[in-house]
Structure 1
């Protein structure tokens, strides 16, 4: 590492991102494309190393940095929408981590394992047990450090502090302070000296938009400083203490680029938050920037050599977590114990429905139904959006009138869809509705949109006489639309959201969880007329 003065420099890859309308949209495209082709897919052999054998003439100490991010409670292998193959899984990842560590131990190459935030929220297993099994998993795989993500605050500070007290590893957040006295909520950094003498400093930075992406009540007692401001405070502290400086961030790839652009001291930035699969690390002026998408789908690896102030990237790998990797028995048993408890939770009565919610495939995918209207009205209420839409394929079953259980909710809404808002111009809304009407005529029809806050007439040319929030649609006006993360990522062909959408915001709220809360708080819940 060199001197710690802030600086400005061009980023070589920015032209690509700018041409595609912003880093987030481009990264999502890259991530989806890589997932479809199966990045470095295939059977994971016993010998998992990609680092070149250490040459006897190379005196430089080496180490491996393993990373993942945005697990969002996905401890159990799962099938993504539109696919039946079960991917991911905590027990599989545990096996892969153990194999790499064992191989590195034979080569006298130390291993560091880090996680880029957002362990909580995204599955019933995480939500019902408030992250308890998630943190047990992190302890069992020997995590070396994690940074807090915005969704770590979703269950409130008391729960977060409980989970932090259970962790066998440092939890980092250099820019989160209490309002009463300005005390740090977590450790700002971790410093680890490896057996080969290399000192690795890990600085944790959290997105400062956390008050907007979790329940504001949960963080009302906290201040989230801008990450660059916190870096200015803590990078100089680590300058004389560490040979390698790692930024472990949950601020998004675009902010990671700004961080690397501003401070030359970082050798590696491992990110999270926008859930991007960076297939090959970005390297700009010796700063390595990487991220491993989400949900435990991938484990990332960097093999590094250190010589004084210089850190060289020897090799990099993205491992898909697939069924070819056997389960770690201990982790599998732990996860199974919680899933059994979850099964009991699923039979709990949540409340009462005053009428039947119609989720019949042949009706839902061809016309508005009361289930679609209930969900989109709920999404609109939760976000304050002008309108809300959801693809009909997100709903997989009806729910009968009378007592309702959590299991029935999850049977009807089996996907881990999160509620997202995005802004679209009025002319884009018209094209979105035209695409929805075209989907209605397709054999599947899952892309037909259920809507709230939008009224329109169906004509051969598409949607006509469109009204939003009770007023005629203005093609030149910007509207806030509540959707799901599936639609934002281009699901059912709706690339319009990520290509033309502005100011996307992920609420972190699962659609199924939102409906659960709606029923609990309003029982007996009335059913709307479509």
Structure 2
């Protein structure tokens, strides 16, 4: 009588973080928003289910070490999806080195380059990837001079339990539209789909299981899974989504673990005959009443903060309400800033880009809280724009939020004060904005209006080209973050912004 030999099943845990944005410190979660995109996503709504302290890298380190202890060091891979070491005041002081040191302590295996990982300039990104004890890569970023992928081969092959796992890193195709163009001079950013098609045959010859570590965002990850066969798992980033349960398209699973060091993603793949036969996705929420901090990382963080402590912890003002940041709808924090620009700069309206990182302000507000929301050294600009230019700008934000081609999605809702309008994303492109008013009067397409914004918007980030076409452009040396800090210091208690509700959004 023949007895079949049972097939061995290997269980391998893929731990993953993404969009940490330099957020090594704990923060208070709220029921609607605390990190920038919770309670705000158009495609994948996520809310925290309680108000409590969450996150912090010493808690992340503890969770990582716990999984390794339970599952075994040889059964765990640790990945990061990018947008990692900037967007924070300590990040600015150390130019990203603080986050790299923390990541080295927990032994990452690979990091994908995100669009914000060039915030300190290409030369500094190169220095940081040399400081890292793990590769930082992207298949769709090429050096123009050589045609080679940035920093070397954009994939790794890791053997776990006799299974060869190939992991390919992707960056964000629209990076040139999200930051200072000088920071990425000499680089070309390609579409992730094409880069996968280029490297998949190469990796397939070396690996049994193929993972894509993607900073392209959930919507584009879905397109990749639909168009390309042979990817077993996509570990996502950029869109700050909690994908629970995992999405399965054809034979490809897609996962992602929010942002801001709030969650450690764990995707356990079960492999038999060199194929994934099942996956179990577990999201470790780093609630402080459920996870204890890692003492080694706690000590390291204290040492990193000590030289800058007085600046980081300077109390600026306080608030008894919750002032959060939203990404794809009106953002209370950005409304407060743009309202301040109107009041102090004597303009008709003010604009800022919609960005997807940050925290909620509540209680004492410190310098590092403000830098968490306004980390970049953009300078204030005033100019004049016609009503028609303003209308085109609002139509552009509608296109950014809901383009015909998901590959053209970039940025969130443009943040503004002083201008009222209705936005209907269900209408055809070019016809989505209506009932525009400034100063309680219907927008006059021929009239010129005085506008305040910053140098990033003037340079055309998020495809906002009309600012650069304005007249009487006055570039100041006034850094927006410092402008906000100066004005907040004069306020004993910060109230919820009064101009909320200027945008009526139909998603």
SS in 1 for 2:260: coil
- Unmatched tracts of structure 1, length 5 or more: 1-55, 349-356, 399-406, 429-449, 457-464, 476-480, 484-502, 506-512, 522-529
> Residues 376 and 137 (structure 1 numbering): CA distance in 2 closer, same or farther, change over 3 Å?
farther
The answer for the alignment partner of 2:304 in structure 1 is: 338
Q: 2:126 aligns with which of 161, 165, 182?
A: 161
The answer for the alignment partner of 1:71 in structure 2 is: 20
- Residue 66 of structure 2 corresponds to residue 99 of structure 1: yes
Q: TM-score, normalised by structure 2?
A: 0.64
SS in 2 for 1:280: coil
SS in 1 for 2:199: helix
> Residues 397 and 66 (structure 1 numbering): CA distance in 2 closer, same or farther, change over 3 Å?
closer
Q: 1:87 aligns with which of 50, 54, 64?
A: 54
Contact 2:26 2:53 in 1 (8 A): yes
Query: What root-mean-square deviation, in Å, do the aligned CA atoms of Structure 1 and Structure 2 show?
Result: 4.6
> Residues 163 and 342 (structure 1 numbering): CA distance in 2 closer, same or farther, change over 3 Å?
same
SS in 2 for 1:251: coil
1:343-364 per-position Cα deviation (integer Å, ceiling 9, x unaligned): 144499xxxxxxxx999989x9
The answer for the alignment partner of 2:443 in structure 1 is: 473
| Partner Cα distance (1:111, 1:370) in 2 | 44
Q: 1:304 aligns with which of 266, 269, 274?
A: 269
Contact 1:63 1:304 in 2 (8 A): yes
SS in 2 for 1:194: strand
Contact 1:177 1:184 in 2 (8 A): yes
> Residues 118 and 380 (structure 1 numbering): CA distance in 2 closer, same or farther, change over 3 Å?
farther
1:104-152 per-position Cα deviation (integer Å, ceiling 9, x unaligned): 12xx861101011110233222222221111111111111111000000
| Partner Cα distance (1:380, 1:327) in 2 | 48
Q: 1:225 aligns with which of 162, 180, 190?
A: 190
The answer for the alignment partner of 1:328 in structure 2 is: 294
The answer for the alignment partner of 1:459 in structure 2 is: none
| Partner Cα distance (1:370, 1:310) in 2 | 52
| Partner Cα distance (2:154, 2:353) in 1 | 43
The answer for the alignment partner of 2:373 in structure 1 is: 416
1:363-382 per-position Cα deviation (integer Å, ceiling 9, x unaligned): x9xxxx9976334689999x
The answer for the alignment partner of 2:173 in structure 1 is: 208
Correspondence list, 1:262-301, <5 A: 262-301=227-266
Between Structure 1 and Structure 2, how many residues are aligned?
379
Contact 2:341 2:350 in 1 (8 A): no
| Partner Cα distance (2:345, 2:69) in 1 | 48
Deviation at 1:177, TM superposition (A): 1.2
Deviation at 1:424, TM superposition (A): 5.5
Q: TM-score, normalised by structure 1?
A: 0.61
1:228-259 per-position Cα deviation (integer Å, ceiling 9, x unaligned): 11111111111110001000000000110111
> Residues 319 and 220 (structure 1 numbering): CA distance in 2 closer, same or farther, change over 3 Å?
same
| Partner Cα distance (1:232, 1:453) in 2 | 47
- Residue 8 of structure 2 corresponds to residue 59 of structure 1: yes
